[in-house]
Amino acid sequence: MSNNSITTRHPQYANAQIDWDLVYDCYSGERTVKNKGTIYLPATPGQVMDGQGRSATSEGEVAYRAYRKRARFPNFMREAVQMAVGMMHSQPPRIELPAAMQGMRSSKGETLEDLLRRINVEQLISGRIGLMADLPTNPVPGEDLPYLTTYRAENLINWDDGTAEGNIPQSLNMVVLDETEDERVDTFTWERKTKFRVLALGKLEENEQRATYVQGVFAEDRFDPLGLNPPTWRGNTLQRIPFQIINACDLVSDVDEPPMLDLANICMTIYRMTADYHQNLYMQAQDTFVVIGGNFDEDEAIRTGAGARIDVPLGGDAKYVGVESAGLAEQREALGRLEQRAGSMGAQTLDTTSRERESGDSLRIRVAARTADMYQIVEAGAEGLQAVLRTCAEWMGENPEEVLVEPNKEFGDQELTGQSMVEMATARNQGFPLSAKTMHDIAAARRITKMTYEEEQAQAKLEEDAEDFPFKKAENGDRNPEQIQTPQSGSDGDNT
């Protein structure tokens, strides 16, 4: 492969690909990991000596398949990602667009809210995702809109944002995307098509920073500069590439380390240890029958158990010989510690509701320590989506400043209870500077109400004006404390 090939990878790609493969395989789960064979679970020396890897029917290969099948791969990675994304999207993000951009979707037909969720998933797994704005091949005026396409870290194979000396600020002037996929070539037949999309500013060889955006799709090693054309929206071209690299915590082109790489490595360690542990348990139950002083042919069958008979010559002996159990307790203890560590790094660290006896302060401290990275992830994801949408607005002749993407940041907070609401109201009545508007915003954030503050006030006024309203205000405007009493035990529950 020549250095000038369209398939050339960026220098940072090769080092990062090992980590990407690991975290994606961990997220996919046990079947994917086990299908990788000795990449993640090396064969034992005895299995190799018996022919593992040389023949599918060799004694060593058969033993290795059984060894691998007994192993268990933990799902901490998937659980951690799903729990984190659930917290990030416990409330919808705020997305505002100009009227002409309403209804924009991803290339898969997702809403922008769902697209942001998928962006966050990729940020958590690989720490990297590419987001591109593109146009339909033959857009229908007044109907079709630009759409957004995502590219996993492994599909973003090459990029250039200029040099630190020559281009300040640095911005992308070349991106190469691997779009290899299965395509249906006739009624029921599929074929693997290798193709690459090239995005550039002006002429590639001139490494331009201020030029018209062009792009094209090419088969492997068939790049032709004449195939690069400027996409236009009603005659408008762009002077920047509508592509944004979104890392775990920033929007620069340099590769980030996957946020959950350490968790993935621990999961692989647990996988290999469970293989050894279950192999030892299996061997413990597979004692070998030994006859000392017997006179048996090698092909002669020996029966054991009830109803069997074995004749041993005078002075001979017969016994079972098994594998010593020394080390099993240490293996079991080491596995337990690793699983506890993986749990603390994964889903269990995000659990804010199961520790009923934990004080509010310690809960907030623990969750804050675990969610510091989550804030950075949601910020970077929203900022990246906003950047591409603002480029679309510019493309369409709209005001980019009307585009706003604000992520949910309310994960990790305690549930708002009736007691905490009473405590806030009491503190406000006693002079604490907490406005009714702020209290309403807190209730809305906890989804206690769906009304705006103004709607809530209007509804409360209607209720207070009703003759049968049980809670009347005192002359100073506060609720009369005599009207709000907790029913005593044994009473009929009515307030007096």
User: Do 215 and 200 form a contact (C-beta atoms < 8 A)?
Assistant: yes
pLDDT band, very low/low/confident/very high, at 371 (cuts 50, 70, 90): low
Taking the C-alpha atoms of residue 276 and residue 274, their distance in angstroms, rounded to an integer, is 5
What's the DSSP call for residue 406? E
What's the DSSP call for residue 254? S
User: Do 148 and 111 form a contact (C-beta atoms < 8 A)?
Assistant: no
User: Do 22 and 261 form a contact (C-beta atoms < 8 A)?
Assistant: yes
Residue closest to 60 by CA, chosen among 46, 72, 71: 46
Determine the pLDDT at residue 346: 59
pLDDT digits (tens, 9 = 90+) for 32-63: 999 999 999 999 999 999 999 898 999 999 99
* Average pLDDT across the chain, whole number: 82
What's the one-letter identity of residue 239?
Q
User: Is pLDDT larger for residue 380 or for residue 488?
Assistant: 380
In a domain, residue 301? The reply is yes
pLDDT digits (tens, 9 = 90+) for 440-462: 888 877 778 888 888 888 888 88
pLDDT digits (tens, 9 = 90+) for 102-125: 989 999 999 999 999 999 999 999
Taking the C-alpha atoms of residue 124 and residue 260, their distance in angstroms, rounded to an integer, is 7
Q: Which of 104-113, 325-334, 470-479 has the lowest mean pLDDT?
A: 470-479
Residues belonging to the chain: 496
pLDDT band, very low/low/confident/very high, at 348 (cuts 50, 70, 90): very low
In a domain, residue 446? The reply is yes
pLDDT band, very low/low/confident/very high, at 496 (cuts 50, 70, 90): very low
In a domain, residue 138? The reply is no
What's the DSSP call for residue 166? T
User: Do 318 and 295 form a contact (C-beta atoms < 8 A)?
Assistant: no
Q: Which of 308-312, 378-382, 479-483 has the lowest mean pLDDT?
A: 479-483
Alpha helices in 285-359, H assignment, sequence order: 328-345
The count of other CB atoms within 10 Å of the CB of residue 405 is 22
Taking the C-alpha atoms of residue 9 and residue 259, their distance in angstroms, rounded to an integer, is 23
Q: What does pTM read for this prediction? A: 0.75
* Sequential DSSP letters for 35-70: HTGGGTSPPPHHHHHTTTTT-TTSHHHHHHHHHHHH
Phi–psi pair at 287, nearest 5 degrees:
-65, 150
Sign of the alpha-carbon dihedral angle for 22, 27, 28, 29: positive
Determine the pLDDT at residue 198: 95
The C-alpha angle 412, 417, 418, rounded to 5 degrees, equals 165
243 three-state secondary structure? strand
The count of other CB atoms within 10 Å of the CB of residue 330 is 9
Taking the C-alpha atoms of residue 107 and residue 114, their distance in angstroms, rounded to an integer, is 12
Determine the pLDDT at residue 3: 55
User: Do 368 and 239 form a contact (C-beta atoms < 8 A)?
Assistant: no
Cα 431 to chain centroid, rounded? 45
Determine the pLDDT at residue 94: 93
In a domain, residue 379? The reply is no
Determine the pLDDT at residue 360: 47
Q: Strand locations in 102-170, DSSP E?
A: 128-134, 147-152, 156-160
- Asked if the model's pLDDT at residue 367 lies above 90, the reply is no
Q: Which of 8-12, 152-156, 341-345, 443-447 has the lowest mean pLDDT?
A: 341-345
* Sequential DSSP letters for 429-494: HTT----HHHHHHHHHHTTS--S-HHHHHHHHHHHHHSTT-S--B-TTSSB-GGG--PPPTTS-S-
Structural domain total, the chain:
2
Preceding amide of 74 cis, omega within 30: no
In a domain, residue 317? The reply is yes
Determine the pLDDT at residue 126: 94
pLDDT digits (tens, 9 = 90+) for 166-205: 555 668 899 999 999 999 988 899 999 999 999 999 888 7
Taking the C-alpha atoms of residue 376 and residue 244, their distance in angstroms, rounded to an integer, is 17
In a domain, residue 208? The reply is no
Residue closest to 149 by CA, chosen among 105, 213, 187: 105
Determine the pLDDT at residue 414: 53
User: Do 84 and 375 form a contact (C-beta atoms < 8 A)?
Assistant: no
Q: Which of 58-62, 208-212, 405-409 has the lowest mean pLDDT?
A: 208-212
User: Is pLDDT larger for residue 95 or for residue 436?
Assistant: 95
User: Do 228 and 241 form a contact (C-beta atoms < 8 A)?
Assistant: no
In a domain, residue 279? The reply is no
Residue closest to 122 by CA, chosen among 11, 22, 13, 20: 20
Q: Which of 59-73, 111-125, 400-414 has the lowest mean pLDDT?
A: 400-414
In a domain, residue 155? The reply is no
Q: Which domain range does residue 458 map to?
A: 417-483
Start-to-end CA span in the chain (Å): 88
Determine the pLDDT at residue 75: 87
Determine the pLDDT at residue 336: 78
Task: Look at residues 269, 302, 321 and tell me which one is the last residue of a structural domain.
Answer: 321
* Sequential DSSP letters for 288-304: EEEEES----TT-----
